[in-house]
Amino acid sequence: METKFSFQKGRMVPVPSRAIVPDRDLDQAPALECIHLGIDFGGLKAVDDFNLTIGRTEIAGLIGPNGAGKTTVFNLLTKVYEPTRGTVLVNGQDTHGKSVAQVNRMGVARTFQNIRLFDTMSVLDNVKVGLHNSHPYTALEGVVRAPRFWIREKEFDDRARELLDIFDMGKLAGERAGSLPYGAQRRLEIVRALATDPKLLLLDEPAAGMNPSETAELMENIVKIRDTFDIAIMLIEHDMSLVMNICEGICVLSFGKVIAKGTAEEIQNNETVIEAYLGRQKEGSDGR
């Protein structure tokens, strides 16, 4: 089925580092800057000399064949892995030495290739986990359950319902997360990530397992998230209709190295990319 979704992308313009960002983001520090980032696993340079700049409200794509290093980049940005070399700046701030939780509080949130919800908890409580991450209680508040604790619990409840409503999921608040259909679980993961109040949202294969109409709805939701929260979004995706439709800047990885960066049009016409990735995609169904 053809997706009918389309939206107006920003004009991509160069910044002093020669990266390109949407022109509307020029007056703000980029959401993300990776400078000569790399990680080795034994003798394998899983990611090497990775340079990327993402504008404050850009929707960016990270694509490449299986094993190219895409998820490893997300693991580096979220401090699951400590880089072997290079620098990551989030909103202009160096993430060197920060923990997973600290980088989350600096504004980086993610979803995973394989859904990682708390299956036995309610939909509402899954979202509240995200809120608690970004607004932790002091040990004393948690233990004595002071009045402030209950006031904040009520605030978290209200905020979690507000966030669920954005995706029309308010009515599912009391359901067990594990009982939701697949597409709704994927949406819930995104809502939970949004609850941590990110400035940069990383989505790892958000359309995996979705049919074309679910993918079209997801595209609208990604654009809606960007517009509602005014944040940057970077996604890893094998579904090229999604990437080419909504990503403003696209970065292509192959064997851990960036082989091309540019707009959808530039990437689709790039000979190296066609040879390393897109050409193979045309032959197969989804490039795997």
Ligand X SMILES: Nc1ncnc2c1ncn2[C@@H]1O[C@H](COP(=O)(O)OP(=O)(O)OP(=O)(O)O)[C@@H](O)[C@H]1O
- Which lies closer to ligand X via its Cβ, residue 68 or residue 164? 68
Q: Does 279 bind ligand X (CB under 6 A)?
A: no
CA distances from 3 to 59, 192, 196, 238, 243 (A): 19, 27, 31, 16, 13
- Which lies closer to ligand X via its Cβ, residue 56 or residue 70? 70
Please report, as a single letter, which amino acid is at residue 50. F
End-to-end Cα separation, the chain, in angstroms: 20
Q: What share of the chain is helix, strand, coil (3-state, %, to 5)?
A: 40, 25, 35
- What number of CA atoms fall less than 13 Å from residue 201's CA on the CB side? 27
- Rounded to the nearest whole angstrom, what is the least distance from the CB of residue 224 to ligand X in the complex? 26
Among 53, 57, 72, 126, binds ligand X (CB under 6 A): 72
Site for ligand X in 240-259 (CB under 6 A): none
Among 46, 108, 127, 264, binds ligand X (CB under 6 A): 46
Among 3, 51, 71, 281, binds ligand X (CB under 6 A): 71
- Which lies closer to ligand X via its Cβ, residue 7 or residue 41? 41
Among 115, 113, 227, residue whose Cα is nearest residue 166? 227
Q: Report how far residue 30's alpha carbon sits from residue 280's, in angstroms, rounded to the nearest whole number.
A: 33
- Rounded to the nearest whole angstrom, what is the least distance from the CB of residue 203 to ligand X in the complex? 13
Q: Does 61 bind ligand X (CB under 6 A)?
A: no
Q: Does 286 bind ligand X (CB under 6 A)?
A: no
Q: Does 22 bind ligand X (CB under 6 A)?
A: no
Strand ranges of the sheet holding 257-262, from the earlier edge strand across to the other edge: 108-110, 200-204, 232-236, 59-63, 249-254, 257-262
Residue 74 corresponds to which tokens in the numbers above? 């997300």
Q: Does 111 bind ligand X (CB under 6 A)?
A: no
Task: Quote the longest CA-to-CA distance of the chain.
Answer: 63
- Rounded to the nearest whole angstrom, what is the least distance from the CB of residue 140 to ligand X in the complex? 38
Asked if 240 and 270 count as a contact pair (C-beta separation under 8 A), the reply is no
- Which lies closer to ligand X via its Cβ, residue 130 or residue 256? 256
Is residue 207 helix, strand or coil?
coil
- Which lies closer to ligand X via its Cβ, residue 31 or residue 46? 46
- Which lies closer to ligand X via its Cβ, residue 70 or residue 128? 70
Residues near ligand X, by CB under 6 A:
41, 46, 64, 66-72
